Structure 1
Amino acid sequence: MFSNQINDDIHLKLLETRFADELFALSDKNRDYLREWLPWLDATVSVEQTRNFIQSTLKAYADNNGFNCGIFYKGRIAGCIGLHGIDWINKKTSIGYWLGADFQGQGIMTLACKAVIDYVFNDLSLNRVEIRAAEHNSKSRAIPVRLNFVYEGKVRQAEWLYDHYVDHMVYGLLKEDWNLHLNK
């Protein structure tokens, strides 16, 4: 199972069904906060639905088509990060993530993204990773900027968010750019 101990406080662990109660409690507690940017909250109203989501992510992992990890901070689940499928022919993927409100502003997500990017380029040998974030989601957009992704443009009305569309800002990172960044 995928696992990455980033530092003494932050640990990424592949989501397993044993985490369903804790993950649902976190998303439920942060429902209003997360609903601003995540379209799946209204459809996730039970632990069983969270368990089903985890089972689908374990199938994707078993099929070598992405994964979802819990981000654990000081032993507590703080959010999730994962790959939205893998395009093996073109050697690319995209990263998605969210963090509970109590865990914001501590650099947790930046470190989690950095660990996943290292995994994408060094372990999976992919060439490109992408992050998309809603245009007005400044916290989410700050992550790829901080990690030296290149802003590549806007996808208009990319996502239906309950009662309106949001535009996505697209950020891309190539393996060669990441290696240059690491050697600076």
Structure 2
Amino acid sequence: MDILKIDEELSLRQIELADAKEVFELTDHSRDYLKEWLPWLDTTLQVKDTKEFIKICVKGAEENKSLNTVILFKGEIVGVAGFNSINKANNTAYIGYWLGKDYQGNGIMTRVVKALTNYAFAELHLNKVEIWAAVENKKSRNIPERLHFVEEGCIRSAEWLYDHYIDSVVYGMLASEWNG
């Protein structure tokens, strides 16, 4: 994926090393906000940590095992979204996302997830897209619900979040169900 234009103000571009400083600064500015639901903030303390993450993303894309993008809103990086994992054996992709705190409430992530789901089915020819969200993370859960993903169940103690386990709701969309 080079650039996936979603609309006049929003597009996705595969993440690259040159994005490290800007992505780190966005992460650092949103640290307290993001830390409520994301487990990696304590290990992302310098630009070099973001560079290491991006290297993993680039390698995953080269191996067709993942595809992570920066979210560009009016030309500015405002978050990261993509397929944290692509399982070719089962034709399934797992979408993950985060958005800087100052960009909430603009419908950005719903448009991004819709575009990624379209891409998964039309370009990658996958059968299923999954999104996992913490049970209590209403903002994150609203996205698949708005896009009519099916709530498939709850995974108890799905993730360790700093000092406790959290349960996750699994949402799924099949290619045959998608009306994107």
Query: What TM-score comes out, normalization by structure 1 length?
Result: 0.96
By how many angstroms is 1:2 displaced? 3.0
- Corresponding residue for 1:23? 23
1:6-58 CA deviation, whole Å, 9 max, x = no partner?
11111101101111000000000000000000000000001011011111101
**Which residue in 1 is equivalent to 2:157?**
157
Looking at structure 1, the residues matched to 46 and 27 of structure 2 have their Cα atoms a distance apart, in angstroms, of: 10
- Counterpart CA distance in 1 for 2:119 and 2:2 is 10
Q: CA deviation at 1:157?
A: 0.4
Gaps of 5+ in 2: none
SS in 2 for 1:33: helix
1:112 equivalent in alignment to 2:107: no
Distance 1:51 1:151 in 2: 34
* Aligned position for 2:91: 91
State whether structure 2 residue 82 is matched by structure 1 residue 82. yes
Q: Which residue of 2 aligns with 1:172?
A: 172
Residues in 1 aligned to 2:76 and 2:139: alpha-carbon distance in whole angstroms: 22
Aligned to 1:134: 134
Task: Give matches, 1:53-72, under 5 Å.
Answer: 53-72=53-72
> Are residue 44 (structure 1) and residue 44 (structure 2) matched?
yes
TM-score (norm 2): 0.98
Task: Tell me if structure 1 keeps the 8 A contact 2:66–2:86.
Answer: yes
Q: Does the aligned pair in 1 maintain the 2:13–2:72 contact within 8 Å?
A: yes
**Matched residue SS, 1:157:** strand
Question: Which amino acid counterpart does residue 165 of structure 1 have in structure 2?
Answer: Y
- Distance in 2 between the 1:25 and 1:135 partners? 28
